[in-house]
């Protein structure tokens, strides 16, 4: 199968005042359609930084990223936002759900953004049905009108996964999605991700957990700003 993502010579530094911290020093990696790959590395090694760059949340200082043949490193910020909304789903350690919205509304939000105000009126019904069926698949059918703060951690993460999938992303990125959960609940989230991957979803996940990394199809290790294995 073809490459979904190909990154070459990725460099990234952060400057704070007079200090410059170089985080990525020439990362080379690629991801094929259908992969479930895991990024590991010490705390501060740049795992989240790399994930954000690959998911069009941030830009590299140097290097090229091709996502399905499109050059992310050359896109304007506006185009990058649109590209991300349509092609990438994100799952974070602390869920990042909006407490003002209920579970169903949280899942609908990325689709509303993608459709725009006029388009939304036309596709609302279909998207609502899709959101409900995603939430059913995540075992949250009886939680639709609840606010995120009324849910357990595992339920919040499953709602966040449904939100990440609503626009049918080509790539699902997860940054320590089990990092804030007890091991049993975390295992349930991994099962959900494994099942999605078996159905064809390409996934790239950051984890601290060696046990999870050992189970992964592919392990990408970051050290000194480069991929070492
Ligand atoms: N916006 C920023 N401004 C300045 N420095 C940053 C910024 N984001 C990250 N850094 C620094 O870059 C380095 C890499 O951060 P990053 O979050 O990518 O690491 P990580 O591998 O994800 O770590 P962890 O396992 O703890 O999540 C860290 O030293 C961090 O302090
Ligand atoms: Mg991180």
What is the set of domains in the chain, with CATH numbers? 3-227 (3.40.50.300)
**Alpha-carbon distance values, 51 to 16, 18, 58, 96 (Å):** 21, 26, 9, 16
Helices within the chain (DSSP H only): 47-54, 77-87, 103-137, 153-165, 183-198, 210-215
Judged by its nearest atom, the ligand closest to the C-alpha of residue 174 is 2
Ligand 1 contacts CB of residue 207 (under 6 A): no
pLDDT digits (tens, 9 = 90+) for 211-227: 888 888 899 999 999 99
> What residues does 36 pair with on adjacent strands?
203
pLDDT digits (tens, 9 = 90+) for 9-67: 999 999 999 999 999 999 999 999 999 999 999 999 999 999 999 999 999 999 999 99
> What separation in Å is there between the alpha carbon of 175 and the centre of ligand 2?
7
Judged by its nearest atom, the ligand closest to the C-alpha of residue 14 is 1
Residue 209 has a pLDDT of 83
Q: Please identify which residue in the block is written with the tokens 């059918």.
A: 141
pLDDT digits (tens, 9 = 90+) for 122-176: 999 999 999 999 999 999 999 999 999 999 999 999 999 999 999 999 999 999 9
Ligand 1 contacts CB of residue 47 (under 6 A): yes
> What residues does 32 pair with on adjacent strands?
3
Ligand 1 contacts CB of residue 43 (under 6 A): yes
Ligand 1 contacts CB of residue 20 (under 6 A): no
Structure tokens at 224: 């000194």
What's the average model confidence in pLDDT over 192-209? 95
Can you tell me the distance from the alpha carbon of 67 to that of 8, in angstroms, rounded to the nearest whole number?
Answer: 12
């Amino acid at each position: 199968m073809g490459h979904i993502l190909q990154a070459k010579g990725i460099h990234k530094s952060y400057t704070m005042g007079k200090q410059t911290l170089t985080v990525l020093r020439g990362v080379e990696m690629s991801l094929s359609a259908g992969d479930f790959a895991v990024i590991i590395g010490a705390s501060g090694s740049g795992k989240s930084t790399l994930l954000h760059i690959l998911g069009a949340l941030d830009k590299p200082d140097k290097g090229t990223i091709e996502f399905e043949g499109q050059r992310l490193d050359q896109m304007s910020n506006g185009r990058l936002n649109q590209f991300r909304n349509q092609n990438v789903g994100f799952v974070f350690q602390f869920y990042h759900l909006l407490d003002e919205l209920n579970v169903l509304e949280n899942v609908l939000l990325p689709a509303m953004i993608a459709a725009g105000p006029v388009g939304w009126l036309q596709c609302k019904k279909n998207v609502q049905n899709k959101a409900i069926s995603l939430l059913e698949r995540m075992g949250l059918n009886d939680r639709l009108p609840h606010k995120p703060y009324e849910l357990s951690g595992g339920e919040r993460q499953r709602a966040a996964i449904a939100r990440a999938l609503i626009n049918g992303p080509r790539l699902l990125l997860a940054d320590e999605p089990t990092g804030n959960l007890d091991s049993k609940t975390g295992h349930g989230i991994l099962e959900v991700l494994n099942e999605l991957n078996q159905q064809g979803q390409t996934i790239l996940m950051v984890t601290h957990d060696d046990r999870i990394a050992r189970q992964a199809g592919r392990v990408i290790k970051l050290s000194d700003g480069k991929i070492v294995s």
